């Protein structure tokens, strides 16, 4: 079973994964800052996505589009008119809620306020989630701009640029990672739902007849990505959307869901968006967004399969799935069993004592390991306490430099999960560490 949310919030704060933003001013509306360990871990989550989506394939290219974009983009995409959540106010306690998140009460089927239980709620009104700002010094209608609520439109408006410069042909994809902003009515559950977050989105363009096939392919592929990075299979599921839940343009949507402490929640949505987006932007811009297949002399608007994941939400799932408590020598320990590619540090270099005699060789060991792994270097407190600290932040390997090292040029590698220790010559260390980490 996953740990309580409180455990993860506590560990995040105490060890430097995630801090409430502007904490010295009392925080700011469910925004968060990623501390030294969180910045490393979030980067690892994004790097692993990029590695599997771009680096390990020949049919996907990358993109890094602007966060501020022409309002015409959001008009054409339908976000200005439709990117809304149903907002209700409680007339009794004045809390605001998303109507689609409220449970009807079993007695009379009416929605009731989760805060004060009142059923005196306003009718739902559509609340647009996009953050509006102004580009340039004059704040008028003409200077209105929006922070992107998803990274995805950047892929569509650059479709021709990418097609022409990358020499790809369908099936091919465009991958992008970056910040998105939504003025969520009820952010919460730590970083599960925040107003500023990071997404990892692929738009995969295919011949229309192959849409269903590629949709199935990406559902399988994406589920396996999480499993491959250590999330137990029984904490994951693929949930197909029912007919009533489907967006009007979608020919199929499935969510990859994770078993959060409060129940199943979405990590990623995979949708067959058909030719909706390219056609909408072609109609609004007057630019044809098509592919001409020279082999068959056919011109067509590709279908797009979109696996859209959240990097920050996924990082939280990795933390929850990795959290464990066990006993070592009768003593309770907290351990994050993170996959080596996700863990903030892969190796901790720990000189047994702060004595000057050990420093040069410890620094030599560190210098050998830094090119292959992110290393922590810690020389204070007892070695036992330092091991515990590394266990608690998920470091898979600790390398201890002791006084014998000065004689035998060997160090001890300790494994986080088994706590087993082996002595290896410094000259074999890089090869040993690589093989243990699976690098």
Can you give the binding site for ligand ATP, defined by CB under 6 A?
A: 150, 182, 184, 193-194, 197, 199, 266-269, 308-310, 312-313
Q: How far is the CB of 286 from ligand ATP (least distance, A)?
A: 28
Strand partners, 256: 238, 268
CB of 256 to ligand ATP, least distance (A): 8
Residue 184 beta carbon to ligand ATP: minimum distance, rounded to whole angstroms: 5
Residue 187 or 207 having the CB closest to ligand ATP: 187
Report in angstroms how near the CB of residue 352 gets to ligand ATP at its nearest: 43
Of 224 and 427, the one with the shorter C-beta distance to ligand ATP is 224
Q: Is residue 403 a contact partner of residue 352, using CB atoms and an 8 Å limit?
A: yes
In contact, 87 and 99? CB cutoff 8 Å: yes
The CB-of-390 to ligand ATP minimum distance in angstroms stands at 29
As a whole number of Å, the CA-based R_g of the chain is 25
Q: Which is nearer to ligand ATP, 199 or 272 (CB)?
A: 199
CB nearer to ligand ATP: give 270 or 348: 270
Q: By beta-carbon distance, which residue lies closest to ligand ATP? A: 310
Dist CA 393 CA 403 (whole Å)? 27
* Residue of 253, 414, 388, 282 lying closest to 326 (CA atoms): 388
* Complex with ligand ATP: residue 183 or 353, whichever CB lies closer: 183
Q: How far is the CB of 56 from ligand ATP (least distance, A)?
A: 22
Shortest distance, position 199 Cβ to ligand ATP, whole Å: 5
Nearer to ligand ATP, 264 or 300 (CB): 264
* List of residues 6+ apart from 168 with CB closer than 8 A: 59, 61, 162
Handedness of CA 266, 35, 147, 53 (dihedral sign): negative
Chain centroid, CA 56 distance in Å: 19
Q: CB 436: neighbour CB atoms within 10 A?
A: 16
Which residue intervals of 259-396 are DSSP H helices? 276-285, 311-322, 359-369, 383-392
Least distance to ligand ATP from the beta carbon of 233, Å?
19
Provide the token pair at 273: 């968006």
Q: How far apart are CA 159 and CA 278, in angstroms?
A: 8
Smaller CB separation from ligand ATP, 269 or 394: 269
Q: What is d(CA 146, CA 148) in angstroms, rounded to the nearest whole number?
A: 6
Residue 16's contacts (CB-CB under 8 Å, 6 or more residues apart) are 35, 36, 37, 38
Nearer to ligand ATP, 152 or 366 (CB): 152
Q: How far is the CB of 155 from ligand ATP (least distance, A)?
A: 14
Q: Min. distance of Cβ 245 from ligand ATP in angstroms?
A: 10
What is the helix (H) or strand (E) element at residue 251, kind and residue range? none
Between residues 97 and 291, which has the closer beta carbon with respect to ligand ATP? 97
DSSP element (H, E) containing 407: helix 405-408
Residues 6+ apart with CB under 8 A from 313: 191, 192, 193, 197, 267
Yes or no: say if 156 and 203 are a contact pair by the CB < 8 Å rule.
yes
CA 340 – CA 148 distance, rounded (Å): 33
Q: What distance in Å separates the CA atoms of residue 275 and residue 287, rounded to the nearest whole number? A: 15
Minimum CB separation of residue 249 from ligand ATP in Å reads 14
User: Please, which residue, 92 or 250, has the CB nearer to ligand ATP?
Assistant: 250
Rounded-to-integer distance, Cα 311 and Cα 94, Å? 33
Shorter beta-carbon distance to ligand ATP: residue 185 or 383? 185
């Amino acid at each position: 079973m996953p740990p309580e949310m409180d455990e993860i919030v506590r560990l995040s704060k105490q060890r430097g994964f995630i801090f409430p933003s502007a904490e010295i001013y009392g925080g700011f509306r469910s925004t968060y800052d990623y501390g030294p360990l969180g910045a490393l871990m979030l980067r690892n989550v994004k790097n692993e996505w990029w590695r599997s989506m771009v680096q390990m394939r020949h049919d996907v290219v990358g993109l890094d589009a602007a966060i501020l974009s022409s309002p015409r983009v959001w008009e054409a995409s339908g976000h200005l008119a439709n990117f809304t959540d149903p907002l209700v106010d409680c007339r009794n306690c004045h809390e605001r809620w998303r109507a689609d998140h409220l449970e009807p009460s079993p007695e009379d089927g009416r929605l009731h306020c989760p805060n004060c239980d009142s059923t005196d709620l306003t009718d739902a009104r559509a609340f647009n989630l996009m953050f509006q700002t102004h580009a340039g010094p004059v704040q008028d209608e003409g200077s209105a701009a929006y922070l992107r609520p998803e990274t995805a439109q950047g892929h569509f408006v650059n479709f021709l640029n990418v097609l022409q410069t990358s020499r790809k042909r369908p099936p091919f994809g465009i991958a992008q990672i970056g910040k998105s902003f939504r003025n969520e009515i009820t952010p919460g559950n730590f970083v599960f739902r925040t107003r500023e977050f990071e997404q990892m989105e692929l738009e995969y363009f295919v011949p229309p007849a192959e849409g269903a096939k590629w949709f199935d392919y990406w559902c399988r592929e994406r589920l396996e990505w999480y499993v491959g990075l250590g999330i137990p299979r029984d904490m994951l599921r693929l949930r197909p959307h029912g007919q009533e839940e489907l967006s009007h343009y979608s020919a199929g949507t499935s969510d990859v869901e994770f078993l959060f402490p409060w129940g199943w929640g979405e990590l990623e949505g995979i949708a067959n968006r058909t030719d909706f987006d390219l056609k909408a932007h072609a109609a609004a811009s007057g630019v044809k967004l098509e592919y001409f297949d020279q082999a068959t002399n056919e011109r067509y608007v590709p279908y797009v399969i979109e696996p859209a994941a959240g990097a920050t939400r996924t990082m939280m799932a990795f933390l929850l799935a990795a959290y464990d408590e066990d006993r070592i020598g009768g003593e309770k320990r907290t351990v994050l069993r993170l996959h080596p590619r996700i863990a903030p540090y892969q190796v901790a270099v720990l000189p047994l004592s702060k004595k000057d005699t050990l420093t040069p060789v410890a620094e030599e060991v560190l210098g050998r390991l830094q090119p292959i792994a992110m290393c922590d270097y810690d020389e204070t407190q007892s070695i036992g306490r330092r091991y515990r600290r590394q266990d608690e932040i998920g470091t898979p390997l600790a390398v201890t430099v002791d006084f014998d090292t000065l004689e035998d040029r060997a160090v001890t590698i300790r494994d986080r999960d088994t706590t087993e220790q082996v002595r290896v010559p410094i000259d074999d260390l890089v090869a040993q560490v690589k093989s243990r980490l699976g690098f």
